[in-house]
Amino acid sequence: MSFTIYLTRHGQTILNKYRRFQGWCDAPLTDQGIEDAKKAGQRLKDVQFDFAYSSDSPRAIQTRDMIIAENQFKAPETHELPNFREQSFGYFEGADSGHIWTMVGLPHGCITYYEILDKLGAAATRDLLHEADPWGDAEDDQTYWNRIAAGFEYLKEHHGNGETLLLVSHSLTIRTIVDHFAPEYNATVNGPKNGSVTKLVVDDHGKISVEYYNHY
């Protein structure tokens, strides 16, 4: 069953630049974001990928394809997996993140995202945002993790024999994955940069380990 995943964050988008919530909604890559993707491709140009995955968000698909374009080997088959989308922020999609976290956190004595994280932890922070969403569409922690876990089960069912995969995903999704399998990286606080690469190894028993995180 063993295989390797190069888990990469998409390039910077307009909403990233202006520090706005960007989960299931999408925005174009900035010039910096295009450069992020090209640089990631250069860092991975000597890796021969058997398959290339991304979430089904256009920013992730574009980054994936730009990484493949930089690779020296034959382009692999590509697929989109919705399981590795960013967290859904529901009603808060596109909103100024600082303003929303202050609104959500203030009743709990917190005014920033990192204060909420420090006081409540990542799982409770997701649940808090879900509870604050008047439409109830922001993902709660269990729903969010269940779809990510299902994504890994899909990969385990379809890959093995030492294959090498590219998987382009998103900041909080990468943080959540790394925090789950290697909490020593403190990924919930030290988030991955746009275009950064994290290497995961899935062994013959299906155990997932993090070989490195947030290489940029």
Region of residue 186 (phi > 0: left; psi between -120 and 50: alpha; otherwise: beta): left
Question: pLDDT digit string (tens) for 76-90?
Answer: 999 999 999 999 999
Are 10 and 63 within 8 A, CB to CB?
yes
CB neighbours of residue 136 within 10 Å: 11
Report which residue type is found at 33. G
Read off the tokens for 2.
Answer: 């063993």
| Complete edge-to-edge strand list for the sheet that includes strand 163-169 | 77-80, 51-54, 163-169, 3-9, 197-202, 208-215
Residues above pLDDT 90, as percent of the chain: 99
How far apart are the C-alpha atoms of 108 and 160, rounded to whole Å?
A: 46
Question: pLDDT digit string (tens) for 39-72?
Answer: 999 999 999 999 999 999 999 999 999 999 999 9
CA distances from 152 to 174, 199, 209 (A): 13, 14, 12
pTM here?
0.97
Identify the band that residue 214 occupies on the pLDDT scale cut at 50, 70 and 90. Answer: very high
Which residues contact residue 37 at a Cβ distance below 8 angstroms, ignoring those fewer than 6 apart? 10, 11, 29, 62, 63, 66, 67, 195
- pLDDT at 1 > cutoff 80: no
> What's the whole-number average pLDDT of the chain?
97
How far apart are the C-alpha atoms of 153 and 8, rounded to whole Å?
A: 19
Question: pLDDT digit string (tens) for 155-168?
Answer: 999 999 999 999 99
Region of residue 22 (phi > 0: left; psi between -120 and 50: alpha; otherwise: beta): beta
Q: Please choose, from the candidates 88, 84, 89, 90, the residue with its C-alpha nearest in 3D space to the C-alpha of residue 170.
A: 84
Q: Please choose, from the candidates 49, 58, 27, the residue with its C-alpha nearest in 3D space to the C-alpha of residue 163.
A: 49
How far apart are the C-alpha atoms of 38 and 59, rounded to whole Å?
A: 13
Torsion of CA 65, 13, 22, 62, to 10 degrees: -10
Task: Summarize the confidence of residues 17-35 as an average pLDDT.
Answer: 98
Identify the band that residue 199 occupies on the pLDDT scale cut at 50, 70 and 90. Answer: very high
pLDDT on residue 125: 97
